[in-house]
Amino acid sequence: MQIAVGGCLAQKDRGEIVRRAPWVDVVFGTHNLGSLPVLLERARHNESAQVEILESLEVFPSTLPTRRESVYAGWVSISVGCNNTCTFCIVPSLRGVERDRRPGDVLAEVRALVAEGALEVTLLGQNVNTYGVEFGDRLAFGKLLRACGEVEGLERVRFTSPHPSSFTDDVVAAMAETPNVMPSLHMPLQSGSDRVLRAMRRSYRQARFLRIVEGVRERMPDAAITTDIIVGFPGETEADFAATLDVVREARFASAFTFQYSKRPGTPAAEPARPGAEGGRAGALRAAGRPAGRGVVVRAPCAGGPRPRGARRRGRGPQGRRDRPAQRAGPRQPAGALRRARRRRGAPPG
Ligand code: SF4
């Protein structure tokens, strides 16, 4: 067995990893995933750890050979890197500025996945709705969603993650008017306090975030909107946290990933000596966001692969994570088929 460590933190802590874990064979960064097979081979041959970090992207990751876990659902990278500078995030300093793939390349990969049996595709980027900034088309993401709507055999299109400050009406319209784009939106809030958002260097404010949520629900009443929230950001006061709770109540998120702020060395927010204060806020957040819940019937694809007798299969419904009906496959219900299933009681989508 060989061990490789890669990604943002591997890039930042390259020397430390080899020093503290001498059994690691390869350390690689965010720009050279494609070199991994060669580095593993070299580590085997030389019997020493190989560390290779490149400063810019060599090959777009999606163009590398892939072995997919499921043939029914696939991820397609549309961009890498980010032009924002959120003070808690290490991505801008390690992944660099946004690089966009050409729409033709993205669509060719989507079509290839569908030809291999995919029903569902998730478009992936650090900041999907600024897609096009590199080739100067501000409407490129909405156009890409509509183009995915034309791909025959593609039943579901999702994307992650959009940034609230770049969320434009043309994207909401493309979502609402393209039948295979799912009514689900994962849009990170991070904080409901304008003061904290400013300190995080996130350029939208509470009112704008709520306006987007309202606009999405106007066009797609059943949309399941999910989010990310950080509690205990340095300097966050009770009043700031109360503002976050207000947004959680008003936005009625279907679900949220909530994080206690933790210092990430090398980021601007880690510099001040002010500690983050959590003080039970994560629990209060969960209580505020607890869904009222109602059961709905959704259609979700069964996962593929052999299944032990009596095991249950799971899939995602149109609204995403919260719609995960358990399904039993059988002779008349092959893997990959879209089946009607009752969703467990969960967050209200509207
Ligand atoms: S938008 Fe996302 S990826 Fe970019 S800096 Fe902010 S948190 Fe990091």
Rounded CA gap, 265 and 278, in Å? 19
Determine the distance separating the centroid of ligand 1 and the alpha carbon of 188, expressed in angstroms: 10
pLDDT of residue 80: 87
pLDDT of residue 274: 57
pLDDT of residue 269: 83
Is residue 293 over pLDDT 70?
no
pLDDT band at 280 (very low <50, low <70, confident <90, very high): low
Determine the distance separating the centroid of ligand 1 and the alpha carbon of 331, expressed in angstroms: 45
Determine the distance separating the centroid of ligand 1 and the alpha carbon of 97, expressed in angstroms: 11
Is residue 317 over pLDDT 90?
no
pLDDT of residue 11: 81
- Sign, CA torsion 71/150/212/87: positive
pLDDT of residue 273: 56
Amino acid identity of residue 256, one-letter, is A
Is residue 211 over pLDDT 90?
yes
Is the CB of 268 within 6 Å of ligand 1? no
Gyration radius of the chain's alpha carbons: 22
- DSSP string over 237-289: -HHHHHHHHHHHHHHT-SEEEEEE----TTSGGGSSSPPP--TTHHHHHHHHH
Rounded CA gap, 6 and 165, in Å? 30
Q: For 104-154, what is each residue's pLDDT tens digit? A: 999 999 999 999 999 999 999 999 999 999 999 999 999 999 999 999 999
Q: For 157-195, what is each residue's pLDDT tens digit? A: 999 999 999 999 999 999 999 999 999 999 999 999 999
Please list, in sequence order, all residues whose beta carbon lies within 8 angstroms of the beta carbon of residue 65, skipping any fewer than 6 positions away: none
Ligand 1 pocket check: which of 85, 94, 127 to mutate, most ligand atoms within 8 Å of Cβ?
127
pLDDT of residue 68: 73
pLDDT of residue 102: 94
- Sign, CA torsion 276/277/278/281: negative
Q: Read off the tokens for 128.
A: 């999907």
Is the CB of 87 within 6 Å of ligand 1? no
pLDDT of residue 308: 44
Residue nearest to atom 6 of ligand 1 (CA): 86
**What is the mean pLDDT of the segment spanning 55-70?**
70
Which element (helix H / strand E) includes 226? strand 224-231
Residue nearest to atom 8 of ligand 1 (CA): 89
3-state secondary structure of 124: strand
Percent of the chain with pLDDT over 70: 76
Is the CB of 82 within 6 Å of ligand 1? yes
Query: Higher-confidence residue: 221 or 52?
Result: 221
pLDDT of residue 113: 93
Ligand 1 pocket check: which of 83, 131, 163 to mutate, most ligand atoms within 8 Å of Cβ?
163
Amino acid identity of residue 239, one-letter, is A
Is residue 64 over pLDDT 60?
yes
Nearest CA among 31, 44, 25, 33 for reference residue 17: 25
The answer to whether 266 touches 93, Cβ cutoff 8 Å, is yes
Edge-first strand order for the sheet with 224-231 is 184-186, 224-231, 255-260
pLDDT band at 266 (very low <50, low <70, confident <90, very high): confident
Q: For 6-43, what is each residue's pLDDT tens digit? A: 887 788 888 888 889 999 999 988 788 888 888 899 99
Q: For 73-95, what is each residue's pLDDT tens digit? A: 899 999 988 999 999 998 887 77
Is residue 65 over pLDDT 80?
no
Q: What is the mean pLDDT of the chain?
A: 82
Rounded CA gap, 341 and 324, in Å? 9
